[in-house]
Structure 1
Amino acid sequence: MTVRVEVRSTHPTTGQSVVRGAAKLGIGGLKRCEVVRLYFLERDPGDEAVERLCRLLLADPVMDTWRVVRGEQTDATASSIASSMAGDRPLHVVEVAFRPGVTDVPARELRRGMAEIGLPDCETATGLRYELEGTLSEAELRRLAQLLLCNETVQHFALGEITVHFGHEAVAGERVEVIPLRNLDDAALLALSKERLLSLDLDEMHAIQRYYLELGRDPTDVELETLAQTWSEHCVHKTFKARIEFIHRNADGSVRSQETIDGLIHRYLRAATEAVWPEWLRSAFVDNAGVIAFDDTYDLAFKVETHNHPSALEPFGGANTGVGGVVRDVIGVSARPIATTDVLCFGPQDFPYDQLPEGILHPARIAEGVIAGIGDYGNKLGLPTVNGAILYDEGYLGNPLVFCGCAGLLPHGRHPTGAQKGDLVVVIGGRTGRDGIHGATFSSAELTHETSEIAGSAVQIGDPITEKGLIELVEAARDRGLYNAITDCGAGGFSSAIGEMGERLGVDVDLANAPLKYPGLAPWEIWISEAQERMVLAVPPEKLPALQQLADLWEVELSVLGRFTGDGELVVRFNERVVARLSMHFLHHGLPKRTLRAEYQEPAPVPPLPEASVELQFPGMDLNDVLLAMLGYPSIASKEQVVRTYDHEVRGGTIVRPFVGPALDGPADAAVLKPLGTWEHDRAFVLSNGINPMIGRVDPYAMAISAVDEAVRNAVAVGADPDHIAILDNFCWGNPTYPDRLGALVRACQGCYDAALAYRTPFISGKDSLYNEFNGKPIPGTLLISAIGIVPDMHRCVTSALKTPGDRLYLLGETRAELGGSLFNALLGEQSGMPPSMPQKPLERYRALHQAIRKGLVRACHDLSEGGLAVAIAEMCIAGRLGAALHLDALMDDVWMDAADAGALVIPLLFSESNGRLLIEVAEKDVPAFEACFTGQTLTWLGVVVEESRLSVGVKGASIIDLQVEQLVKAWKGQ
């Protein structure tokens, strides 16, 4: 007999968001909602055991009440279940549970908990019950369930009582299909690729066809899926390795240059790193994460991944497993994860529901799920989320971007990288299920309104508790030298992890040894599943017992799948049957190199300055209102409500936090962390980022320059050494088979190369996520640059908060009329204009600033980015809760002497987003020494910090901005 336990809070609050969401959907009849937690046991352990279970595991006896129901129950009975809702008011019930085959992590933890408290083992399941009070039709109930309560990609719902599905001891199916491929024509080959979600083009299908014609047989489904995963855009980055015929045109269409580019990675990203390779760089582009030196004992690893397509389908799960995946990347270089980052791009949160394209979730629902998913994983792992950004743009409506980063610490020289002949193929961590199947190939194709139905199994389900065990197990195994190589099971699952690890040697595995979550998986599904929390190790046979002992200690499941053979073949078995046999050389080197065509046309030139005065060009404009509108702009406004859901101080090593100032609510430029166990010196490290897709709409080359500059200057602003900073690139782009999309991507890569040389900062890792389109409409080409660097003295860290009235405020760097892609233009609905350019000798400028910081001459520092000078000084006032008085005369006299109309210059002076600029607070007593640090640099004294809580900006005797700091705070916080 089954047992159903309903747990409800005596102080319910979770239903309030449902009522608000229903109102946004136009369902005004919902007055109240109560959310009830549901737990199911397949077998009844008895009254005493169930009571003990409820008191110890399922409910808080102080805050919760529970009700136990045994056996079958009708919907009519379900609708009349007693609740805290009083009276005879209309009550409707919607219940939600996971679909069969989807990992139910709470149910698994419940089962584990039952064992720990001595209860008999049985299958478990979980769900949620929504009790809805109000006048609602059945159609409204279904709409509410589909759009707000249930994600039908991974869940199902019922109006009334739901039927749940229990898992059972998992046994794989033995079916293996032979795919008749040798005699197919071109149309049939493409149809096969589409039907099986292979995401392979015709040339690639031809290469596979020729291989099997030579072998004289057709491929098995395991072999075909193996090739598709290994050759996917997600895994092999074939666009970035392609031969590109690039034509660069002038604005009038004439050809400026024409060249053949032999791979974007080789030509620009790796080439830049090789050109500037510093002695502290340990590893770049060759492992799961980039590695730099921290000190003489330890190294730092850093990786940033994207999880865009999964997050579009199932936001919580997509973001949740995005964090889990990048954490395993860091584990995969034998490092202990110590911090995470997140950068998110969503559609407008107030987008009208009735205008939402078919097949996509509302941006507000995507944002809510993604934010919750990131916090859920990082918080449960005990990792601080310390740096990030959130952008909003209609271009991300159907295709959100989710960038997840992780930094880790490892002893220098302790990461083994080579499997040896005879080593065992050992998998540790989570079990294998159908979740995540075709994730790699799914991420290599565009989204459409049918994607959620066709590729629902591509969504992975996260389990941070299991991953926590992996972290501890791998660290202990590393320190004892128990493995020769390690990698994570990410895109492509066992297929990619084992296939890549065994590329040099060859490998023989038996999938019948893989532990499964549930029955019925075919061998090809086991092989390519991207089920989470799994790592693959190459383990010498004599060290297996010691590894097993550690696995038992940390309650991590361990299985031996096979052995590295040395024969150069990939052999996959299921019991005694060979289900795949492939040449490692063909698998990893048989992919045809693509030849793609790219074109880029320069935008039409614009006047360097507005031709008319501010009053003529922007009639009736009040610059106070402009600044307040900028501070309230969704991409600029405070993200405190989001960031406070993340733990950013766990582990006790966060020096500069996401929020600074006396109220701890001002924006920080970057995060600074001190790794535990390194207290013998004052060295710390910094994490920062740069991203501005609005500039990319005007000029992708300028976007790349700006992103690199922003990431570096944010790091330098808090105290990082500009000569000890490394960067990572993450490109999110549309379909690269269109010449215009690819041409813009080429220009962005060229900008990355030029910027890396100018700043002498190497790329150490990167990731491209292409085909980010929904129904043929691409996202804005988006480049995220993440930076990791060394802070020589954590006691000299600087924040953006103003500190002391009477201090001087200086602007470092040149201001140009560069409003192309700016926040100011976005408010006006404009995109054109001159975008920000490369600053002159930026490295020398940042070295000078760093020396001033090291000498203790800088009290506050803040970079100028979106919104320019006006937003930067406003943010410093918000952070410090102090005022500032700025006078732009010196800036205008020094920089704009050739301008005929001074009024026309106010806009670029306030809102230009020229690169390489920072606002610096300096004590009056330190002015001579401070100014001496900047000989030969453009340094302009603009004003002073004032005790009065007011921001005033004047020029030529006229007041152009005059606002109370409290007005700035309210605008920034949306109050």
Structure 2
Amino acid sequence: MLSNQLHPRRIFEGVRKGIEDGGNKSGVPTVNGAIVFDDRYAGKPLVYCGTGAVMPMQLAGLDSWEKTIDAQDRIIMAGGRVGKDGIHGATFSSIELDETSPATAVQIGSPITQKLAMDFLILATRRGLIKCSTDNGAGGLSSSIGELATISGGAVVELEKVPLKYPGLRPWEIFVSESQERFSLAVEPSKMAELMALGQEMEVELTDIGYFTADGSLDVRFDGTSVAKLNMHFLHEGVPRKVLEAEWTKPTAQEPVLPTNLDYTDVLSRLLGSLNICSRESVIRQYDHEVKGRTIIKPLMGATGQAPQDAAVVRFNFESWEGVAVSNGILPRFGDLDAYHMSAGAFDEAVRQIVAVGGKLPNLSYGDGNFWSVNDNFCVPDSVYDPATNPDGKHKLAKLVRMCQALRDATAAYCIPLTSGKDSMKNDFKADGVKISVPPTVLYSMTAKIEDVRRTITSDFKQADDVVYLLGETYDELGGSEFYQLFGEIGANVPKVRFEEAKALYALMGQANDNGLIQSCHDLSDGGLAVALAEATFGHGFGADVELPATGLGLSAQLFSESHSRFVATVAPEDVVAFEQHFGARATRLGVITQDGQLTVRHGGQTVISASTAALRHEWTNGPVNRIIGFGQHEAAQS
């Protein structure tokens, strides 16, 4: 351990509890997520949190997405009070982590205050009491009012009126503090009395801290004295753009020579118990994914309650069967070979998770209402070149450029709009003469509308004698795979997304689901085909008897390649003819589901994997993530 470096277990538990408190206690179900391990996160762990909600088309007779603010509208701060917690939060996220990092940067949350403020805002907007609002996130009042003031053309802020948690804050601290659970509202003077009365009734503190103007400046005052006055154009457009240098050089890599005569049953068991594949049940069970009772596809399902699912599906309300699928794609290990294919693969992973549960890609030609959206979340190390302190800065920046190029290509290929996102560009840690930089990482958080949640599909095998198929094509793409990582290797052949082929397969998937041809479906990702087959048996204790096709691929690639855009699907015997006619060469028949609880995989007439699915589930359930907090054998035995 380096100086000022926290143990990963402490980080792990703190993050888990923070997400629980911030989400569940505010009435938000935690339905989907991922935990990824890499030694390079030991310096500055990355944490991504995202939420979504359904917004009505109109509020109080006005289009809900329109934001209007006029001069003399009042600036109201709602919710929590301001303290020193959160000062420099935004800048903290963009600097190297060391002993000089500010202790005040981390905000102290209050879920109860947040819930009260959220409930208040819903009623206030429905009654037409608020013209415009934004949260006090990065930069606090400086950012929220600075942004809202662009609508009217200026603002006057009176900082002495801002309610504080305790005395002693200087004006600049009040203005930039990111203390949580606060909102800035634009309110017509004529609506102030009704708004204040509602706030008092709902126990939400509301404070009038100024007014909007049209004079082109942001005027910040304290006790009548102007402490800052900035031209609005300069504030938002005045910073000159940086010009940075990027140089991309493909890394030299080669495919490793692995031991011959591998015991593939043992390899599969080891993969199921590895850090990035093993069960996350110890975390999942500490969250409530049933808040509001609308969650249709949960993180774990099946009779055992331990079959891992792909995307989550949540019903909008109880008046219709419409819902939303939520997924995420994150594959940082591929970035060591090619950041473009890492980014494209993560995007495709998020897409195919939604396709796996029954989502259909948007068809812009027909305007079919299959609404999708994606948020990008970039976290990269310092990418500004310096010959002494950051000599590989140009290469790091080139990785970021390639990640963005892949995002552009993926959104265009799948016709999925990029609606929001974030970036954090200085994820480095220095101590004791050591510098730890995170691997360039991007998370794609994706949502898609589901027309009828009753037609969604889960990953777990449903009944014996159903026929098992591989959908999509497998390539010799073991580079960066979890299989290679077992042997301390990275390889060279990074998985690539073939957008046109993937899109055609996803369209076939949507049509097959409309026709009721698919009983179960699981996307192939970490660990490839062998891991997906094993995971699909965990829900009910079924087995599977599988024969790998004769192809030019090696056995390791067939079993463990992480080629994208693939699924394991099962089909009822009576639907096999229709299914095969529908998919043609895109479907490869593998075998059948069995009642005996045994996973048997053959190749060329030889058995290459033979294991009890209960034993495989035991390895998966008792992996290191569950053992970290003493969760595993006892709970697995009870299931």
| TM-score of the aligned structures, taking structure 1 as reference length | 0.60
What SS class does the counterpart of residue 32 from structure 2 fall into?
A: strand
Residue 136 of structure 2 corresponds to residue 489 of structure 1: yes
1-structure distance, mates of 2:415, 2:139: 35
Report if aligned partners of 2:316, 2:322 keep a CA contact under 8 Å in 1.
no
- Counterpart secondary structure, 1:468: helix
1-side partners of 2:91 and 2:412: how far apart?
34
Please state if 1:748 is matched with 2:403: yes
- Give, in angstroms, the shift of residue 380 of structure 1: 1.1
**Per-residue deviation at 1:377?**
2.1
**Do the aligned residues in 2 keep the contact of 1:758 with 1:841 (CA within 8 Å)?**
no
Letter paired with 1:693: P
User: 826, 836, 840: which one pairs with 2:485?
Assistant: 826
Partner of 1:102: none
2:300 and 2:97 map into 1 onto residues whose CA distance is: 36
Residue 507 of structure 1 corresponds to 155
The one-letter amino acid of 1:597's match is E
- From 114, 118, 128, the equivalent of 1:471 is 118
Superposed CA offset, 1:38-71 (max 9, x none): xxxxxxxxxxxxxxxxxxxxxxxxxxxxxxxxxx
* Alpha-carbon distance in structure 2 between the residues aligned to 1:665 and 1:391: 19
- Could you tell me how far apart the structure 2 residues matched to 1:822 and 1:762 are? 29
1:432 aligns with 2:432: no
Deviates more, 1:716-725 or 1:944-953: 716-725
Give the one of 639, 652, 674 matched to 2:280: 639
3-state DSSP of counterpart to 1:491 = coil
Alpha-carbon distance between aligned partners in 2 of 1:955 and 1:701, rounded to the nearest angstrom: 34
Deviation, 1:662, is 0.7
Q: Give the aligned partner of residue 757 of structure 1.
A: 412
CA distance, structure 2, for counterparts of residue 760 and residue 514 of structure 1: 45
- How big is each residue's C-alpha offset from its partner over 1:579-622, in whole Å with a ceiling of 9 and x where there is no partner? 11111111111101100000111133646xx8x7xxxx413521
Q: For 1:824 and 1:883, how far apart are their aligned partners in 2?
A: 23
| 1:306-455 alignment, distance < 5 Å | 356-412=1-57, 413-448=63-98, 450-451=99-100, 454-455=101-102
Secondary structure in structure 2 of the residue aligned to 1:801: coil
Q: How far apart are the structure 2 equivalents of 1:682 and 1:852? A: 20
1:390 partner SS: coil
Matched with 2:195 is 547
Name 2:531's counterpart in structure 1.
871
Give how far 1:676 is off. Answer: 2.0
Q: CA deviation at 1:660?
A: 1.1
Q: How does 1:823-972 map to 2 (within 5 A)?
A: 823-839=482-498, 840-888=500-548, 890=549, 892-893=550-551, 896=552, 905-935=554-584, 937-972=585-620
Q: How much has 1:809 moved relative to structure 2?
A: 0.5
Shift of 1:826: 0.9
On the 8 A contact 1:758/1:842 being kept in 2, the answer is no
Map Cα deviations across residues 1-23 of structure 1 (whole Å, 9 max, x no partner): xxxxxxxxxxxxxxxxxxxxxxx
Deviating above 4 A after TM superposition, structure 1's stretches of 4 or more consecutive aligned residues are none
- CA deviation digits over 1:164-206, x for unaligned, max 9? xxxxxxxxxxxxxxxxxxxxxxxxxxxxxxxxxxxxxxxxxxx
Q: Does the aligned pair in 2 maintain the 1:570–1:581 contact within 8 Å?
A: yes
Q: What is the 5 A alignment of 1:607-686?
A: 617-619=258-260, 621-676=262-317, 679=319, 681-686=320-325
Give the partner amino acid of 1:715. I
CA contact (8 A) 2:304 2:538 kept: no
Question: 2 CA distance for matches of 1:457 and 1:590?
Answer: 28
Q: Does 1:704 align with 2:363?
A: no
Contact map agreement 2:330 2:444 (CA 8 A) in 1: yes
CA apart distance, 1:873: 0.3
Shift of 1:925: 0.1
Does residue 1:767 correspond to 2:414, yes or no?
Answer: no
- The aligned counterpart of 2:252 is 604
- State the partner residue of 2:636: none
Q: Is the 8 A contact 2:253 2:491 kept in 1?
A: no
**Which residue identity lines up with residue 622 of structure 1 in the other structure?**
D
* 1:520-531 equivalent positions in 2, closer than 5 A: 520-531=168-179
The answer to whether the 8 A contact 1:487-1:535 is kept is: yes
Match of 1:516 among 164, 174, 186: 164
Decide whether the 8 Å contact of 1:849 with 1:933 is kept in 2: no
Q: Answer whether contact 1:386 1:658 (CA < 8 A) is retained.
A: yes
- 8 A contact 2:518–2:571 mirrored in 1: yes
Secondary structure of the 1:704 match is helix
Say which SS state the counterpart of residue 218 (structure 2) adopts. Answer: strand
Tell me the CA shift for residue 671 of structure 1: 0.4
Write out per-residue CA displacement over residues 764-822 of structure 1, whole angstroms, 9 at most, x where no aligned residue: 11111110111132101111111100112211110011011001001011100101111
What does the per-residue CA deviation read over 1:397-444, in whole Å, with 9 as the maximum and x for residues that have no partner? 011111001010110132441221111011100011111001111111
Identity score, percent: 45
1:841 CA drift (Å): 2.1
Q: Quick one: distance in 1 between partners of 2:243 and 2:340?
A: 22
Higher relative contact order (CA 8 A, sep 6+): 2
Specify which of 209, 214, 217 is matched with residue 566 of structure 1: 214
Do the aligned residues in 2 keep the contact of 1:423 with 1:541 (CA within 8 Å)? yes
2:390 counterpart residue number = none
Question: In structure 1, what is the Cα distance between the partners aligned to 2:555 and 2:9?
Answer: 37
Contact 1:415 1:478 in 2 (8 A): no
Segments of structure 2 that go 5 or more residues without pairing to the other structure are 58-62, 363-369, 385-392, 623-632, 634-639
Contact 2:502 2:565 in 1 (8 A): yes
Paired with 2:260 and 2:479, the residues of 1 have a C-alpha distance of 20
Partner of 2:625: none
Spell out the pairing of 1:136-147 with structure 2 (5 A cutoff).
none
Deviation readout 1:237-295 (Å, 9 max, x if unpaired): xxxxxxxxxxxxxxxxxxxxxxxxxxxxxxxxxxxxxxxxxxxxxxxxxxxxxxxxxxx
- Answer whether contact 1:806 1:946 (CA < 8 A) is retained: yes
Conserved 8 A contact 2:470-2:569: yes
CA separation of 1:720 and 1:960: change in aligned 2, threshold 3 A: same
Q: Give the residue type in structure 2 aligned to 1:554.
A: M
Which of 600, 621, 628 is equivalent to 1:973? 621
Distance 1:934 1:790 in 2: 24
Amino acid of the structure 1 residue aligned with 2:317: L
> How far did 1:944 drift?
0.6
CA displacement at 1:683 relative to structure 2: 1.9
TM-score by length of 2: 0.91
Separation in 1, partners of 2:411, 2:254: 28
Task: Please give the alpha-carbon distance, in whole angstroms, between the structure 2 residues aligned to 1:838 and 1:516.
Answer: 52
1:736 paired residue among 369, 374, 383 = 383
